[in-house]
Amino acid sequence: MPATLAIDGGTPVRKTLLPYGRQSVSEEDIAAVTEVLRSDWLTTGPKIKEFETAFADFCGVHEAVAVNSGTAALHAAMFALDIGKGDEVIVPTMTFAATANAVVFQGGTPVFVDSDPATLLIDPVCVEKAITKNTKAIIAVDYAGQPADYAALSAIAQKHKLALVADACHALGGKDNDHSVGSLADLSTFSFHPVKPMTTGEGGMITTDNHDYAKRMRRFRNHGITSEHRERHEARSWFYEMQELGYNYRLTDIQSALAMSQLKKVLQWNERRRAIAKKYDTALAMLPGVHTLKVRKNVVHAYHLYVVQIVPERLRVGRKEIFEALSAENIGVNVHYVPAHLHPFYKKRFGTKPGMCPMAEAAYERMLSLPIFAAMSDSDADDVIEAVRKVCAFYAR
Ligand SMILES: *Cc1c(COP(=O)(O)O)cnc(C)c1O
């Protein structure tokens, strides 16, 4: 007899909800923040440059430009590449909407492509098929924390003279063939939202080896103005010029101090994420109701997400029921993502529709993200495994 599910009135596996992702903040982080609060500069002060330098070193690139969200980072990358009206940018549909939105902010057209069903990373074959005379760039997404196939994507980008952007919001600390995430494309973007590999509350970064891009993005985050408030303050000067249209996308010094403290721990946190993923891999391999995603050879996976796919042939119910049953067991499952081309905005504005990316659409119907974050204990991970076993056993066919 399978155990009664919590959703049917049984005892839940856990007493309290385990979220799918959560930040780690230490006393050291808090001390770093309070130090800035007592200083002269709360924003656009010395901490920004320190953080940018540390981050560029971490990724092994020449330039890092800090901004106030991952979305702003993507927007700045599209700006640096001069994306505008009539330009097409290839984006994977299996991503958060912001990846494609950044193209639209600049007046460009996102062209959605399908995923490799085994990894849910952008499929290079689909990328090549989507190229037209209007294509300017490709954005790859390191889905779940696994670097995309940059060897294949760079070859395509070079052959067609396109820029390659990595939306690496999931993958800080990851590697592809010994090269660090952040150094794998012409421009790479990061997010410091609390569920991401490290956090500043809200925040973002763009890495690049191109000094011109970096210079333009630093102006872009500051209204398109050539000098910063602190530079004018130090030069006792009031004059400034706005050279082009920009935004206020500045990260504060308060956030940068938190960021530097967090950055020191990313690699050790990722080790912990990988240990939890390994535990899941081993336990779930024995369960016929769920499949795990394939990990490419020679990558270091950052495991922002741990995604499984339910196997409809082995279960009497669909993803919705499994999701609800696991939630009732107090396991904070989630779904990443509704394919971006299926959002009403994209259907209305760009005429996208179901059937355009069949692999991603099918994967969406079957996917679940299980909790994974550095502060999770082994017993938390055991609860997740127990709940998945319990729910799959109950609904097995
Ligand atoms: C989180 C995320 C973003 C947006 O980052 P924000 O900091 O929330 O603006 C963009 N792309 C991907 C893949 C993300 O996961």
Q: Which position among 196, 264, 265, 348 bears the catalytic label?
A: 196
Closest Cα partner for 343 from 176, 45, 8, 99?
Answer: 99
pLDDT tens digits for range 210-228: 999 999 999 999 999 987 8
pLDDT tens digits for range 149-173: 999 999 999 999 999 999 999 999 9
Ligand 1 pocket by Cβ (under 6 Å): 69-71, 95-96, 98-99, 141, 167, 169-170, 191, 193, 204
27-263 folds as: Aspartate Aminotransferase; domain 2 (3.40.640)
196: annotated active-site residue:
yes
Closest Cα partner for 24 from 189, 168, 192, 188?
Answer: 192
pLDDT tens digits for range 181-214: 999 999 999 999 999 999 999 999 999 999 999 9
CA of 191 to the centre of ligand 1 (A): 5
CA of 169 to the centre of ligand 1 (A): 6
The type of residue at 111 is: V
Please report where in the chains the tokens 């330039």 appear, as a residue.
Answer: 63
**What's the confidence (pLDDT) of residue 256?**
98
> Which residues 6+ apart lie within 8 Å of 293 measured at CB?
118, 119, 120, 144, 146, 307, 308, 309
Domain chopping of the chain, boundaries: 27-263, 266-394
**Domain at 266-394, CATH from 3.80.10.10, 3.90.110.10, 3.90.1150.10, 2.60.40.10:** 3.90.1150.10
Residue 311 has pLDDT above 90, yes or no: yes
pTM of the model: 0.97
pLDDT tens digits for range 63-80: 999 999 999 999 999 999
**What's the confidence (pLDDT) of residue 332?**
97
**Same CATH topology for 27-263 and 266-394?**
no
Q: If you take atom 15 of ligand 1, which residue's CA is the nearest one?
A: 169
CA of 195 to the centre of ligand 1 (A): 10
328 HSE (CA, 13 A, CB side): 16
